Copies of this chain bind each other. A is one copy, B any other.
Amino acid sequence: MRASVAGCRMSVGALLNGLLVSVVAALLWKYSKLSEHATLLEEELHMTQQSQEVSQARIDYHVALQALQEHGTRMVCSGKMHTDRICRFDYLCYCSEAEEFVFFHSNSSVMLPNLGSRRFQPALLDLSSVEDHNTQYFNFLELPAAALKFMPKPVFVPDVTLILNRFNPDNLMHVFHDDLLPAFYTMQQYSDLNDEARLVFMEGWGEGPHFDLYRLLSSKQPLLKEQLRNFGKLMCFTKSYVGLSKMTTWYQYGFVQPQGPKANILVSGNEIRQFARALMEKMNITKVDEPERDGGSAEDEKEKEKKDEYIVVFSRSTTRLILNEAELIMALAQEFEMRVVTVSLEEQSFPSIVQVISGASMLVSMHGAQLITSLFLPRGAVVVELFPFAVNPEQYTPYKTLASLPGMDLHYVSWRNMKEENTVTHPDRPWEQGGIAHLEKDEQVRILASKDVPRHLCCRNPEWLFRIYQDTLVDIPSFLEVLKEAMKARPNLKKTKIPWNLKYLKVREVKYEVWIQEQGENTYMPYILPQQNYTFSENIKPFTTYLVWVRCIFSKNLLGPFADVLMCRT
């Protein structure tokens, strides 16, 4: 009973539920016909399996069916609340007609958490990484396993499956922040969610323009909700995980409060960079790593590096344009004496773009999803984000927040167009591209007069859309000014002292032992370093004095004396 009652309380409402019930009733009457039909379904399965490569992991159908009938569904979840929950299932089924997942009860089924007859409120879990979004909830119907005898023969998916919702597969920032990173680290939580795992996207969208990126998560083709119909009326996942970790997300999109960084960010740049590295390997991109430094003199290195440094301008070719891009590029080249490369999603393959960005010293771009690619920048690089007129950079910080994550080691700068004469508006475009023609006249007047978009919630604020879709003529002097200021303000990095006598010593393997003591603390942190220049950023508190003890280690066991202690203020 809970099943259908719950069903009608679920997203799809009474309609679908009535449908399910009538289906079941019909099936009861048509039992004999169904057995034939089931055989057809099984053939269909094998067809589908072929095309889906599922056949590689084929299972004994009748063993599986018996297990399902006897043991029903097993579910064990982690997490106390629905916003924080991932569940592991054996034999979770999906009824494509009712578009509902089904939990089959037997006297040996397991459900943890089990609320008895109380239903999960508002849902068992979030199916996307966006917290508590009411279009992203996951629930299931409940039926007695006995009812299986009177339902279509189930089709089994033998792969270990990760079931989730993509939040917005059309937008590159959303693809990375909401889907790829969370899925990548959700898979790392479970040993059997490996390269052989199957992803199933239940949000109901088509593949979308970035589907190749989702393909990188495992060797198996991801399945879309619409494709599940091909498996027949009832399909059962022998082993599946449902839900996504939110551990790696850093930004909230303004559904309950104006958009901004998440209150409690749990990811650091290290995990982002691990993810980026893994993805680049999948794309067969050989990262331009920081050159090895042990031995050779630092000066030569500096020279060598200098030569192959370059700046990337990420240009948008349809909306939110930089109207004087050529001029901007010239200015950058002259100012920094570097090559300037332009890339655009419309003209290059994504891997080729990542290849370029992974070696860049600076990334310049208008505010927009393409800036998520800054997670592929090397450590120490600079991110420059441009904002159209009347848009406050402090209110839209997904990329600033990313660049500022500890361990991300990026330097972020924003520039904002302050000159109204340098902006080009598009009042007559459709509303979703910032058009305002559909608004009341006086509202249009108000928006046109306003010099600053007030704080607002997601997602259809016309004033915000109007301003963010402006094209901009970048004022070069003010742009360079901001850039130079920012570079000056770059934090003064602590360096370990290079012993004066080193260049006179002919020692191949020189290492440095560095002990750092926080003033007042009675404990030390020992580091063994190959480099002469090393920046201690991790675990360094601001506004603190550190005592730094440095000594040489020649060929491992010959230890030099500690040099005089260095005092460092952060």
Contact = CB atoms under 8 A, between A and B. Distances in A.
A115 interface: yes
Interface residues of A, number: 88
B266 A523 contact: no
Interface string A333-366: 0000000000000000000000000000000000
A277 B110 CA distance: 12
A286 to B, nearest CB: 16
Contacts of A112: 185, 245, 247-248, 266-267, 271
Contacts of A267: 112-114
A487 interface: no
A556 interface: yes
A407 interface: yes
A401 to B, nearest CB: 13
B17 A117 contact: no
A147 interface: yes
B406 A245 contact: no
B21 A523 contact: yes
Nearest to A275: B110
A14 B197 CA distance: 46
Contacts of A88: 188-189, 191
Contacts of A1: 516-518, 524-525, 536, 539-540, 546
Nearest to A114: B268
B5 A113 contact: no
A360 B149 CA distance: 34
A76 interface: yes
A88 B149 CA distance: 40
A407 B115 CA distance: 11
A3 B77 CA distance: 32
Given A28-B513, A528-B150, A268 B84 contact: no
Contact of A529 (B76, B77, B146): B146
Interface string A239-277: 100000101100000000000000000111011001001
Contact of A268 (B8, B32, B81, B111): B111
A559 interface: yes
B274 A8 contact: no
Contacts of A541: 117
A539 B114 contact: no
Contact of A78 (B21, B24, B86): B86
Given A86-B78, A116-B406, A524 B4 contact: yes
Interface in A272-331: 274, 277
Copies in the complex: 2
Contacts of A109: 270
Contacts of A3: 525, 539
B108 A277 contact: yes
Contacts of A277: 108
A557 interface: yes
A66 interface: no
A7 interface: yes
Interface string A507-528: 0000001001110011111111
Nearest to A556: B31
Given A28-B513, A114-B271, A525 B2 contact: yes
Contacts of A266: 112-115
A190 B114 CA distance: 19
A512 to B, nearest CB: 10
Chain A contact residues: helix, strand, loop or mixed: mixed
Interface string A400-425: 00000011000000000000000000
A560 interface: no
A177 to B, nearest CB: 15
Contact of A111 (B21, B160, B189, B271): B271
A485 interface: no
Interface in A181-240: 185, 188-192, 239
Contacts of A5: 518, 521, 523, 525
A79 B78 contact: yes
A508 to B, nearest CB: 16
A9 to B, nearest CB: 10
A115 to B, nearest CB: 7
A80 B144 CA distance: 34
Contacts of A248: 112
Given A539-B2, A539-B117, A110 B559 contact: no
Given A78-B189, A267-B112, A117 B522 contact: no
B189 A192 contact: no
A291 to B, nearest CB: 14
11 contacts: A1-B517, A1-B524, A2-B525, A5-B521, A8-B523, A24-B526, A76-B245, A78-B189, A79-B79, A117-B538, A160-B191
Interface of A: 1-5, 7-8, 14, 17-18, 21, 24-25, 28-29, 31-32, 74, 76-81, 84, 86, 88, 105, 107-117, 142-144, 146-147, 149-150, 160, 185, 188-192, 239, 245, 247-248, 266-268, 270-271, 274, 277, 406-407, 513, 516-518, 521-529, 536, 538-541, 546, 556-557, 559
Sort A-B residue pairs by CB-CB distance and give the 5 closest, nearest first. A1-B525, A116-B406, A113-B266, A2-B539, A4-B523
